[in-house]
Structure 1
Amino acid sequence: MTVQEALPGISEHEFDAGEVRLNYAEGPANGAPLVLLHGLGRRWQVFLPLIPALSMRWHIFALDLRGHGKSGHVTRGYQGTKYSDDVARFLSDRVKIPAILFGHSLGGMVGMWVAAHHPELVRSLILGDNMILADRIPTPMYAALFSGLRDIAQKHFPIDEIAKGIGRIELPLPGSGEAVFIRNLPGNDEAYLLSWARCVAQTDPDAYNMAIDGSALEGWNGEMVLQGISCPTLLLQASRELGGLMSDADVTLATRLLHHHTHVKFRTLGHALFIQQPEPVLRAVTNFMESLPE
């Protein structure tokens, strides 16, 4: 089934960002531009649970970041500044008017970078449970996750084997000495693991490598980036007990430094947020965007 058949009005295109060609999905021009940025090892399709509702009110652009999905790969080219340069060029050359940026995880950090360094391109910012203060993987759980996904991505298995491999990754749980297989975590059924596997199959292993060794966020200073953001910003914080990345310290700093902010904490959602439970996230995002001045 094509994208157009599954989502009427949504079509995929390519954009030349200079160093790399980016794949993106675009919806009908039903309102102000809303640009969706996925996390590490994902692709634009992770926003499918939200796109049908959001595309009725906003003009959706959902990118595959470099090294992800159908976008091009660049050896050792996955620094945060590279991702953000791609997005800034896309906003300037393709979107052409200030956009709402909604970034999840890595996509949230990219959105922060763009909003701080190119404020003329960003109308408002939505941060989906991304790190702010940390400049590398903050917990053993995510180190184990990214290492496991990297090892799987390097082997080019069929999709069903990738899904099984993801399910067999063992993660140390936050705040306890216990470990659990991904397949045994709530919500990680066969369909979810298969959809995740399609993302991993299209991810350059180098993107994982640079996250693991810290070079992806070389030069990151969350406090300085926050000081450069002037647009209205929504912070979506997942539960730390369920694997959330945005810490209370992140939120405290952000609410002190951001000029206009809204904070929503989801006590029953983990880091995946809308990927598995879209309704509460859709409600928070919609309320925030509808509150923005015309």
Structure 2
Amino acid sequence: MGEYIDAGGVRTYCEVTGEGDAVVLIHGGATTGESWAAQVPALAARYQVFVPDRRGHGRSPDVDGPATMDGYAADLVEFMTALRLDSAHVIGWSDGGKVAVRMALSRPDLVRKLVMIGTELTRAGGTPANDRLMTTPEGLEQLSAIARSDYERLSPDGPEHFGVVFAKWTRMWTSIPDIEPSELAHLPMPVLLMQGDDDCVRIEHNTAVARAIPDAQLAVIPGGSHAVPLEKPDLVNDLLLDFLTDPQTPKFMPLGDLNS
């Protein structure tokens, strides 16, 4: 059962499940909080899980003005403030990871642990197929077809508003500022980077990001695509729960170079 939260003037739909330390799940672009259905029960067995719909997505109405990753991150800060959440584990998938990392950079005090799933932080960090999907007429037509049915089913703005929000997303996707790996060097919280081995992110990009962060882990899931939380939910959930657990299992033979 969901409710609406007034998050700094943004009427944000949210579902809350479970008890314990807070976990906030941030969905991807052109999707909704429903995309986390395979993760919520596993996480809610140990944590209190908050699943908001970002403005203009799902059951949350659109707001005047452009869509930007920084704007969504500011919304997330207001959301946590409205719920009196002093801090939370924040997990973002795809665009949700871009939102989450921007909040972690601007308000690190709010993020206990950060997870980015299938998230490229620079244009060059994405695959050519991802670039075609996000920037070409053919790719955007495909995304529009995928997003339209859920939008028309859930949005309080009505189906006729889909063209307005999709135009905002399109402008955002073609102009997202890069975050270079070096900009993440001062993140104070543990970070998990997760992706499928056939994802939208170049594996070497996430390796570079992991090397730049003092306390980072990298998980590449075999046989997984950009939809790996749906394709391999048990494995994804086990990795998330392991990462969120403290203390972490100590490394017996650290011979790699992620943090050397």
TM-score range, shorter chain: 0.7 to 0.9
Provide closer, same or farther for how the CA distance between residues 225 and 86 of structure 1 changes in structure 2, counting only shifts above 3 A.
Answer: farther
CA–CA distance in 1 between the matches of 2:182 and 2:11? 30
| 2:72 matched residue in structure 1 | 83
1:239 partnered with 2:194: no
> Which stretch of structure 1 is more off in the superposition, 63-72 or 284-293?
284-293
| 2:99 matched residue in structure 1 | 110
Q: CA deviation at 1:209?
A: 2.7
1:126 partnered with 2:115: yes
1:14 partnered with 2:4: yes
Q: CA deviation at 1:223?
A: 3.0
Q: With the length of structure 2 as denominator, give the TM-score of the two structures.
A: 0.81
CA displacement 1:196-252 (0-9 Å, x = unmatched): 832565474444334433467544423354234221011101123xxx122223212
CA–CA distance in 1 between the matches of 2:152 and 2:226? 17
CA–CA distance in 2 between the matches of 1:82 and 1:121? 17
Q: With the length of structure 1 as denominator, give the TM-score of the two structures.
A: 0.72
Q: CA deviation at 1:19?
A: 4.1
Q: CA deviation at 1:118?
A: 0.1
Q: What percentage of residue pairs aligned between the two structures are identical?
A: 22
| 2:205 matched residue in structure 1 | 250
CA–CA distance in 2 between the matches of 1:200 and 1:292? 44
SS in 1 for 2:83: helix
CA displacement 1:100-151 (0-9 Å, x = unmatched): 001000000100000111011010001111111228984213443433333x
1:16 alignment partner AA: D
Given that 1:33 and 1:95 are in contact with CA atoms closer than 8 Å, whether structure 2 keeps it comes out as: no
| 1:146 matched residue in structure 2 | 140
Provide closer, same or farther for how the CA distance between residues 78 and 148 of structure 1 changes in structure 2, counting only shifts above 3 A.
Answer: same
Q: CA deviation at 1:254?
A: 1.2
Given that 1:41 and 1:200 are in contact with CA atoms closer than 8 Å, whether structure 2 keeps it comes out as: no
Aligned with 1:197 (options 134, 149, 157)? 149
| 1:277 matched residue in structure 2 | 232
| 2:170 matched residue in structure 1 | 212
Unaligned runs of 5+ in 1: 1-10, 153-165, 167-192
CA–CA distance in 2 between the matches of 1:146 and 1:129? 19
Provide closer, same or farther for how the CA distance between residues 15 and 199 of structure 1 changes in structure 2, counting only shifts above 3 A.
Answer: same
Provide closer, same or farther for how the CA distance between residues 274 and 97 of structure 1 changes in structure 2, counting only shifts above 3 A.
Answer: same
1:266 partnered with 2:221: yes
CA–CA distance in 2 between the matches of 1:34 and 1:217? 29
Given that 1:15 and 1:22 are in contact with CA atoms closer than 8 Å, whether structure 2 keeps it comes out as: yes
Number of residues of Structure 1 aligned to a counterpart in Structure 2: 237
SS in 2 for 1:213: helix
Unaligned runs of 5+ in 2: 156-161, 249-260
Q: What do you get for the CA RMSD once the two structures are aligned?
A: 2.6
| 1:27 matched residue in structure 2 | 17
